[in-house]
Structure 1
Amino acid sequence: MEPLGVVVVTPPWNFPLSIPAGGVLAALAAGNAVVLKPAPEAVLVGWHLANCLWDAGIPREILQFLPCPDDEIGRGLVTDSRVGGVILTGSAETARLFLGWRPDLPLFAETSGKNAIIITALADRDQAIRDLVRSAFGHNGQKCSAASLAICEAEVYDDADFRRQLRDGAQSLAVGTAWEPTSRITPLTQAPGAALRRALTVLDEGEEWLLEPRPATDNPQLWSPGIKLGVRAGSFFHRTECFGPVLGLMRAENLDHAIELANAQPFGLTSGIQTLDDREIARWVDRIEAGNLYVNRPITGAIVGRQPFGGWKASSVGPGAKAGGPNYVLQLARWRQVARPAVDQEPLSESLATVLDRCLAGLTDADARSLLEASAASYARAWREHFSREHDPSAIRGELNAFRYRPCRHVIARGMTARPEAAVALCQIILAAHVAGTRLTVSLSPESEPWVGLAECAGVELVVEAEAGFVDRLAHPLYREHGWIERLRAWEPISTAARAAANGTGVTVIDAPVLANGRLELRWYLREQTVSRVLHRYGSVTEPDA
């Protein structure tokens, strides 16, 4: 293991202690030096954090505190060639800005969210309203995990009593100064930006106010809660993060339609469902596209150790390991294979054995064949013992907090097979993708040796293309719109043009050495997801149906 070197931690202002502490400590644990650049709105909290760590024995040369404005000075910090990685919690626009400045930047970013709670006809509506109001208006909606949309099944949306109770619940929140302990809605940290101002003041076609937000007469940063009805699919409010105290309601014909609406946007951070029907829960958990899922509870307030936090799609930029999860520290170092993993006696599955045989057919070197066989065994073992299982280390009675892995929808691998070690790396990628259940496109440069058998591997598409064609493939606008390719796994150096094209369409570049160790290599073909479910009602603990 080799540390990245110097890691810059750029946290947000809304969690000024926990988020920077998590990033700093993870980077230090991986052996890196750290530069903490606090948010300009939270410099003092960052300073106290740095002093606590210095007092605890972290050398000042290893942890440096650097408050600076978000201008050319901040840009100089991020783009400095001596920086080995950046941990960012902020907007998707900021992440794209960083990568535009420096396309080869190792960026680990938790970004924007446009989060929805689905409320079905089989929900406890009183509970749903309570959890929705808390999720939408807690912290004035200034949390990336906040509920911005309530997608209601038709029976719920059309229920006049539901609307009245929801309106009353939001309207009852005390609005006032942060110095008043009874205030539930307090001033925003800054005047509303363009997106939030539009959300607070403009109704698009078909929309109307269930509860119209109003600014305080003496403070332009203090707004009362707002609730919109009639938000339409594809509209501004449906697909735009606004980051403030405004909620939109959408009408869905049924649960499948509601899931379609929730998924029809670029983000995938948090999502929730309110229903007492286990069949609906199972269908939603299987199909929703978000990193943190919540069943019959608020969708904010993830607790490290219970619900590792991080999103999918445009809500995550980089490898996608969740904060507080088992892979977060691992991604902050570069791992190299120094010893071959042991081959156990557990037989490979028939399909994996078939793929391995086709890969071995193209290799003549005995050491390469032995390495590939050890890789296949390690991948199968890692899948069997870790990646295929749901993990709930907190084991809290009355809750289920399952951490699990889901296959990436599509990974593209790029390189050549002219060198023996490159051919082995390609075969390892094919084996790892097969074990993870991930569709794989292999893009070979024209200089590669022909390898007909690879195209016959299940789930593998083989193309031979020059660099210009590969860049055009990565830059295709449908990748950005639909996320068809999630990651680029490279076993050869990637050009700046290819990196820029991948960054522009949200494709994460993974250029770490290809490893025979399955616990480390399989991470790149899988997405992490946490499912948090309340298992008690009014003091009675229940267990979900198997």
Structure 2
Amino acid sequence: AEWGARPAAARSAVLQAAARALEARRGELIEVAASETGKVFAEADVEVSEAVDFADYYAATAKELDRVPGAVFVPARLTVVTPPWNFPVAIPAGGVLAALAAGSGVVFKPAPQARRCAAVVTEAIWEALDGAGVPRDILALVDVDEGDLGRQLISHEGVDRVILTGSWETAALFRSWRDDLPLLAETSGKNAMIVMPSADLDLAASDVVRSAFGHAGQKCSAASLAILVGPVARSERFARQLVDATESLRVGVPSDPRSEVGPVIEPPQGKLDWALTTLEEGEHWLVAPRPVEDAPAEYADRMWRPGIRTGVRPGSRTHLEEFFGPVLGIMHASSLAEAIELQNAVAYGLTAGLYTQNPADLERWLEEVQAGNLYVNRGITGAIVQRQPFGGWKRSSVGAGTKAGGPNYLVGLGSWHATAGGAPSSTLHLRGLDTRITGLIEAAQPSLDYEGFEWLRRGALSDAVAWDREFGRVRDVSRLKVERNLFRYRPVDVAVRATSDAAWPAVLRVAIAGVRAGGRMTLSAPVGLPAGVRRVLGDLGIPVHVETDDEWIARVQQGRREGGAGRVRLVGGTDAVTALHGALSAATEGDPDLAVYANEVTTAGRVELLPFLHEQAISITAHRFGNPDRWSEEVI
């Protein structure tokens, strides 16, 4: 509580000190990542840089938590951070530092395969805490058994939030232990790169191989599929380039600085063993994966030369399953439309790539592809803090969906409460608002007292400002010229439910945010809405349901089975919302595909618009061999 009560600026100073402490341990962190998890030096080095970037970035964005007009941020008391082994420095540091920046105490439970990396990261952060006179107890490193003790930790009622990076199945397991667990998770990926006939095939081959086999393919962002369109699929030259690039990779021990591909974390088993040894009907090896015969004893059965399988068919295991190892599948498509359909067919939506020099291709792909991180004419791994905030769509994300290393990540690490509004201002009027929203407010005016109307108008104006400054823009966050790093928001389907004690202005406030975001929304309430409001909502295509809590929950369950809205916004008093959230979680058995937003309703557009929007990061290489490539700028 004492840590959370500190001003965000004071917490930021500790994170800045943590950045310096991590940087000072660069050599030690590289060594321990290599020796413990098999990271080659080049990849471990950039991981340290990413950890430092997380510390500096969250130090800056934490200050914004204290500057949101109309809402006050309340930190979670205790956050459990459970990172993976494949990024043993950057991801653990990012999760721990984010929770600390948001004012939470942290229990840090590392992956068993990366406990020594976790110890060095923790020591660096402890050093920063010592320097600020903050007790080390704020950050507890716990190396516990992943069975019974791990379950007790995750499901403990004292845990307010869990930050997970791991598989979707792990997220589902956590929710099976505690169905109402507040979980923010970056999960699995099955990522594809589309190569169009207009692409520079030499560069495409290089980036496909680098994206597929970096860290032996053990990245959730790795290219697991390459979808070759039209004549690219028949190009013998492109096939030779893939073969040459793959076979020339130096597979070696992580202690050798020349190694480009290191060992897998353990001898292949299950899905990965199948992927390395078994072909499906119609497939054949373009490059057959094989174990390195002269590997040192400590890496026996763990060092594999990468493989490429061709003839992958739609709907096959290779098309749909994540293998997490050095295997690339090749698919063929006759058109971009077919390629996008194959790319979107998987349950995940983490990273996606496109190689093309055709503006029409880029425009269509950006409109239709379903993934959180998009890459054009470059590799699809190696996201950079702020420049390419990281996080996916669909089953690649559980919870609020805000991206690590992005502008909204800390916003979801606590709760938000309304603040008292200021004195009414004669300069505030409806003329500055979207006509859809003015129509809705005017229809509701007879059902509102003056204070309710003024509060609602204040919220609508806050939405307009937030939309203009943040959510309605496509921003180039780096301005590098030779690389466009764009950040944008896309509307998402949301089911809004009001409890029996929900204040009428609060229900309207949430509806106004949904209208502003522009996605599909349903509104459910236990009592009927005023006829004028219902008529306007109907004209806007927003269905209104009058039903009990049980009827609404049953409809949400049916909608989930049919692929309906994966987000819910609850509106009402704290006790009623908590009870409804619990009932929904129990009925859906903690479904990780369902994200529930239960914050108190505020006037802050910065907070209220987020449930209605997906984040998407786009990175476009804007040059060829140093020559500016301006056609993509026209598309954006």
Q: Which stretch of structure 1 is more off in the superposition, 321-330 or 339-348?
A: 339-348
> Within 2, Cα distance between the matches of 1:276 and 1:434?
36
Task: Please tell me whether residue 6 in structure 1 is matched to residue 90 in structure 2.
Answer: no
The structure 2 residue matched to 1:25, chosen from 88, 97, 114, is: 97
Residue of structure 1 in register with 2:165 after alignment: 89
**Farther-moved stretch of structure 1 (310-319 vs 160-169):** 160-169
CA contact (8 A) 2:597 2:611 kept: yes
C-alpha displacement of 1:509: 0.7
Report the alpha carbon displacement of residue 516 of structure 1 after superposing the two structures with TM.
Answer: 1.1
User: What is the aligned partner in structure 1 of residue 491 from structure 2?
Assistant: 407
Task: Check conservation: 2:171, 2:592, Cα contact below 8 A.
Answer: no
Match among 188, 193, 200 for residue 124 of structure 1: 200
CA deviation string 1:289-330 (max 9, x = no partner): 100000100000001121111111110001011111111111
* Aligned partner of residue 360 in structure 1, secondary structure: helix
1: CA distance between counterparts of 2:488 and 2:621?
A: 17
- Aligned-pair CA distance for 1:59: 2.1
- Output one character per residue of 1:378-423: Cα deviation in whole Å (capped at 9) or x when no partner: 1122112211112223221311001111111x1101123x44x532
Q: Which amino acid aligns with 2:497?
A: R
- Quote the Cα distance in structure 1 between the aligned partners of 2:505 and 2:286: 61
Aligned pairs for 1:345-364 (under 5 A) are 347-361=432-446, 363-364=447-448
Q: CA deviation at 1:205?
A: 2.1
Residues of 2 paired with 1:377 and 1:146: CA distance? 42
Q: CA deviation at 1:235?
A: 1.3
SS at match of 2:137: coil
How big is each residue's C-alpha offset from its partner over 1:350-381, in whole Å with a ceiling of 9 and x where there is no partner? 121112223334x2332222211111111122
What SS does the aligned partner of 1:209 have? strand
Retained in 2: the 8 A contact 1:11–1:37?
yes
Structure 1 residue 496 corresponds to structure 2 residue 582 = yes
Structure 1 counterpart SS, 2:555: helix
Q: CA deviation at 1:473?
A: 2.4
Equivalent residue, structure 2, for 1:290: 371
Inter-CA distance 202–93: structure 2 relative to 1 (3 Å threshold): same
CA distance in 1 between counterparts of 2:369 and 2:568 reads 23
Q: Which amino acid aligns with 1:15?
A: F
CA distance in 2 between counterparts of 1:449 and 1:290 reads: 38
The question of 1:166 aligning with 2:250 is answered no
Please state how far the C-alpha of 1:181 moved relative to its aligned partner: 3.0
Counterpart position of 1:62: 138
Aligned partners of 1:430 and 1:460 also within 8 Å: no
Distance apart, 1:525 and its partner CA: 0.5
Change (3 A) 1:246 1:381: same
What SS does the aligned partner of 2:258 have? coil
Kept in 2: contact 1:480–1:505 (CA 8 A): no
Q: After the TM superposition, which of the residue ranges 337-346 and 292-301 deviates more from structure 2?
A: 337-346
CA–CA separation in structure 2 for the residues paired with 1:247 and 1:272 = 14
AA at the equivalent of 1:460: I
SS of alignment partner, residue 210 of structure 2: helix
Q: Indicate the SS of the match to 2:475.
A: coil
Q: Residue 466 of structure 1 corresponds to which residue in structure 2?
A: 548
Give the SS at the match of 1:56: helix
Q: Structure 1 residues 246 and 501 mapped into 2: Cα distance closer, same or farther (>3 Å)?
A: farther
What is the SS of the residue equivalent to 2:126? helix
CA-CA distance at 1:474 after TM superposition = 2.5
Say which of 208, 212, 227 aligns to 2:288.
212
Alpha-carbon separation, structure 1, partners of 2:82 and 2:561: 25
Query: Percent identical across equivalent pairs?
Result: 45
Compute the RMSD of aligned alpha carbons.
Answer: 1.8
- Please give the alpha-carbon distance, in whole angstroms, between the structure 1 residues aligned to 2:418 and 2:515: 21
- Choose the corresponding residue for 1:310, options 391, 394, 415: 391
**Which of 166, 173, 187 is the equivalent residue of 2:263?**
187
Contact 2:312 2:330 in 1 (8 A): yes
Structure 2 match to 1:452: 531
1:132 is paired with a residue whose SS is helix
Distance apart, 1:501 and its partner CA: 4.5
- How far did 1:443 drift? 2.2
* CA displacement 1:438-483 (0-9 Å, x = unmatched): 11111223xx24443443311311122333332332323x63674x
Which residue is 1:16 aligned to?
Answer: 88
The normalised TM-score by structure 2 is: 0.82
Matched position secondary structure for 2:364: helix
Q: Could you tell me how far apart the structure 2 residues matched to 1:485 and 1:55 are?
A: 45
